[in-house]
């Protein structure tokens, strides 16, 4: 009896020692995340009961993709943090997987029990049918047939068989539905069985305390599999209203852990996780190839004039209340503190957050190039764009509540002016006609002269005054044997490099104006030149 007690006590103390070696598991929750353009800083918090003596606090179910050098631990209380370690946990989801399988199998068994019950009822119904069929009304010998009893028996048989058939049909339907549901559970069980264990990691914080106490711990670390990128909605109500730019962030992550109802901060900087003094490398300069900063937008009526192809998708048109955001501008970056909590799942799908909305005064102008198309486009020009802390990103453009197209803001361009197309306007008429009486072909000696004369007419049918920019062109010679002479350009001098001719018309409501463009091209008659 004594030996049994000793053995039991030994097993008890071995279990305690094994439990102590495992450390004290701490369940923490992601409370705050600072998301950078590449990477994120995650802060987890937990209320921990600290025992007297030296204790290993094991913060488990941490993403495996963390930078161990970036781990920081903060806590308040009369104890000392002795060390912080990081380790991989390849068995972390074994218990969770077993629990999930157990729950699925339990549900599958309940469904099978219901199927068995329905099959048993079917067997009962069929047995009763057999009994009724074998006990049909038969007249005994030497007896008179009782018609009334016969009718009653037949009525009973019909009524009962009808009821049984209805019950059988209902039971069969129920069995089919349950089998469909059971198949889903069996498929899910197979998928869970075949799934690989998710690798997580542990952060082990060793503390020393003289007494039992309670403290809130905050564990911060940097992960790489997270990012955010900007996108925009650009809206204009009419030509008399400022331009509204809605600044949105698309947050995505594949860190291995879901962020549920966390406080988000979006930063244009980069994470500094290791605390090591940075080294300043040489700062080299080179020529940056200038890119056009015009925001040219696809139009449904004439995509060639807009000079852009819509890539995909439509921007949302629903009106939403702007999310409360506090913007903090550092020396080299900008942070947007999102007041409302957000959830970002570990699936790599973007979670869209509205971070800012600004109204910008714009200069509106109508534009047409009748040589290409007689459509008239409304454009908006915005200056001082750099002061709004925008990043390069795609933009959905809306005018008067209508989706116009998809464009892009490129903040790398040297110009601080943004030109935006807001679609075409049918209220302005443009006509470009070849004046045949002034168009001629002549041969003078060894040369040939071709003269082209165009009449350009515009009319404002809108109920308001407009500013219309009309652009055309004259040909530019690339051969010394070809001469171009501009004979009429409506008082405007063509651009020497591009040949563009630009007229600015200020048109009152219902007003129309005309201008001419005429040029002569001389070239050797032995050569072929196409003059348009």
| C-alpha to C-alpha distance for 256 and 200, rounded to whole angstroms | 8
More confident residue, 368 or 270: 368
Q: Does residue 189 belong to any structural domain of this protein? A: yes
Nearest of 84, 95, 47, 41 to residue 63 by alpha carbon: 41
- 3-state class of 6 per DSSP? helix
| C-alpha to C-alpha distance for 53 and 47, rounded to whole angstroms | 18
Q: Does residue 256 belong to any structural domain of this protein? A: yes
Per-residue pLDDT tens over the stretch 202-215: 999 999 999 999 99
Q: Would you list the DSSP string of 201-242?
A: EEEEEEEEESS-EEEEEEEEEEESSEEEEEEEEEEES-TTS-
Predicted pLDDT of residue 196: 59
Give the burial string for 173-191 (b: 16+ CB within 10 Å, else e).
ebbeebeeebeebeeebee
Contact 163, 198 (CB under 8 A): no
Residues 245 and 341 in one domain: yes
Q: Is pLDDT of 312 > 60?
A: no
Per-residue pLDDT tens over the stretch 134-156: 765 555 555 555 777 777 777 77
Residues 409 and 519 in one domain: no
Residues 231 and 316 in one domain: yes
More confident residue, 284 or 432: 432
Predicted pLDDT of residue 344: 93
Residues 321 and 409 in one domain: yes
Contact 45, 59 (CB under 8 A): no
DSSP letter assigned to residue 190:
H
Contact 201, 86 (CB under 8 A): yes
Where does a domain end: 207, 222, 237?
A: 222
Where does a domain end: 148, 178, 194?
A: 194
Predicted pLDDT of residue 314: 32
Residues 189 and 288 in one domain: no
Q: How confident is the model at residue 9 (pLDDT cuts 50, 70, 90)?
A: very low
Contact 413, 291 (CB under 8 A): yes
* Domain CATH code at residue 487: 2.60.40
Q: Does residue 12 belong to any structural domain of this protein? A: no
Contact 89, 202 (CB under 8 A): yes
Q: Give the structural domain span for 321.
A: 227-363+400-415
Residues 409 and 308 in one domain: yes
Residues 80 and 211 in one domain: yes
Q: Does residue 394 belong to any structural domain of this protein? A: no
Q: What is the sign, positive or negative, of the torsion defined by CA atoms of 392, 250, 396, 383? A: negative
Predicted pLDDT of residue 433: 94
Residues 129 and 231 in one domain: no
Cross-strand bridge partners of residue 429: 459
Phi-psi region of 72 (alpha: psi -120 to 50; beta: other; left: phi over 0): beta
Q: Does residue 370 belong to any structural domain of this protein? A: no
Q: To the nearest 10°, the Cα dihedral for 361, 362, 363, 366?
A: -150
Residues 251 and 269 in one domain: yes
HEC letters along 347-393:
CCCCEEEEEEEEEECCEEEEEEECCCEEEEEEEEEECCHHHHCCCCE
Contact 419, 294 (CB under 8 A): yes
Residues 185 and 101 in one domain: yes
Residues 250 and 349 in one domain: yes
Per-residue pLDDT tens over the stretch 324-368: 556 554 445 788 999 899 999 988 899 999 888 889 888 899 999
Residues 83 and 179 in one domain: no
Q: Does residue 9 belong to any structural domain of this protein? A: no
The domain tally of the chain equals: 4
| C-alpha to C-alpha distance for 402 and 376, rounded to whole angstroms | 17
HEC letters along 278-341:
CCCCCCCCCCCCCCCCEECCCCCCCHHHHCCCCCCCCCCCCCCCCCCEEEEECCCCEEEEECCC
Predicted pLDDT of residue 295: 46
Q: Does residue 421 belong to any structural domain of this protein? A: no
């Amino acid at each position: 009896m004594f030996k049994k007690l000793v053995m039991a006590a030994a097993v008890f103390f071995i279990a305690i020692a094994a439990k102590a070696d495992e450390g004290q598991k701490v369940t923490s929750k992601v409370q705050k995340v600072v998301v950078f353009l590449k990477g994120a800083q995650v802060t987890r918090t937990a209320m921990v009961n600290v025992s007297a003596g030296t204790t290993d606090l094991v913060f488990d179910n941490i993403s495996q993709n963390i930078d161990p050098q970036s781990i920081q631990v903060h806590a308040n209380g009369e104890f000392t943090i002795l060390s912080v370690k990081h380790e991989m946990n390849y068995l972390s989801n074994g218990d969770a997987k077993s629990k999930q399988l157990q729950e699925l199998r339990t549900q599958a068994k309940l469904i099978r029990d219901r199927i068995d019950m329905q099959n048993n009822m079917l067997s009962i119904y069929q047995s009763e049918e057999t009994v009724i069929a074998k006990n049909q009304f038969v007249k005994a010998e030497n007896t008179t047939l009782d018609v009334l009893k016969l009718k009653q028996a037949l009525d009973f048989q019909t009524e009962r068989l009808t009821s049984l058939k209805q019950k059988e049909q209902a039971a069969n339907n129920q069995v089919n539905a349950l089998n469909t549901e059971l198949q889903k559970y069996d498929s899910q069980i197979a998928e869970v069985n075949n799934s690989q264990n998710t690798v997580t990691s542990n952060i082990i914080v060793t503390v020393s305390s003289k007494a039992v106490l309670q403290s809130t711990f905050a564990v911060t670390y940097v992960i790489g599999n997270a990012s955010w990128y900007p996108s925009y909605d650009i809206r204009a109500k009419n030509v008399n209203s400022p331009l509204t730019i809605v600044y949105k962030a698309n947050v995505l992550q594949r860190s291995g852990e879901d962020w549920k109802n966390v406080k988000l901060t979006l930063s244009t900087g980069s994470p500094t996780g290791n605390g090591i003094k940075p080294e300043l490398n040489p700062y080299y300069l080179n020529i940056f190839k200038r890119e056009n900063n015009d925001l040219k937008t696809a139009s449904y009526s004439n995509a060639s004039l807009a000079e852009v192809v819509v890539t995909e998708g439509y921007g949302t048109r629903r009106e939403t209340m702007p999310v409360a955001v506090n913007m903090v501008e550092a020396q080299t970056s900008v942070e947007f503190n999102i007041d409302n909590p957000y959830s970002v799942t570990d699936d790599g799908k973007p979670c869209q957050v509205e971070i800012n909305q600004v109204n910008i005064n714009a200069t509106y102008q109508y534009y047409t190039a009748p040589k290409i198309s007689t459509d008239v486009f409304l454009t908006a020009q915005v200056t001082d764009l750099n002061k709004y802390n925008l990043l390069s990103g795609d933009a959905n453009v809306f005018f008067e509540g209508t989706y116009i197209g998809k464009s892009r803001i490129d903040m790398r361009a040297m110009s601080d002016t943004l030109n935006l197309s807001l679609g075409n306007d049918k209220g302005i008429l443009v006509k470009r006609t070849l004046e045949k009486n002034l168009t001629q072909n002549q041969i003078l000696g060894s040369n040939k002269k071709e003269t082209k004369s165009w009449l350009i007419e515009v009319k404002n049918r809108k109920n308001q005054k407009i500013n219309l920019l009309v652009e055309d062109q004259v040909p530019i010679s690339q051969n010394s044997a070809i001469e171009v002479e501009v004979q009429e350009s409506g008082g405007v001098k063509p651009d020497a490099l591009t040949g563009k001719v630009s007229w600015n018309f200020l048109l009152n409501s219902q007003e129309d104006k005309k201008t001419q463009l005429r040029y002569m091209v001389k070239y050797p008659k032995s050569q072929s030149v196409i003059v348009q």
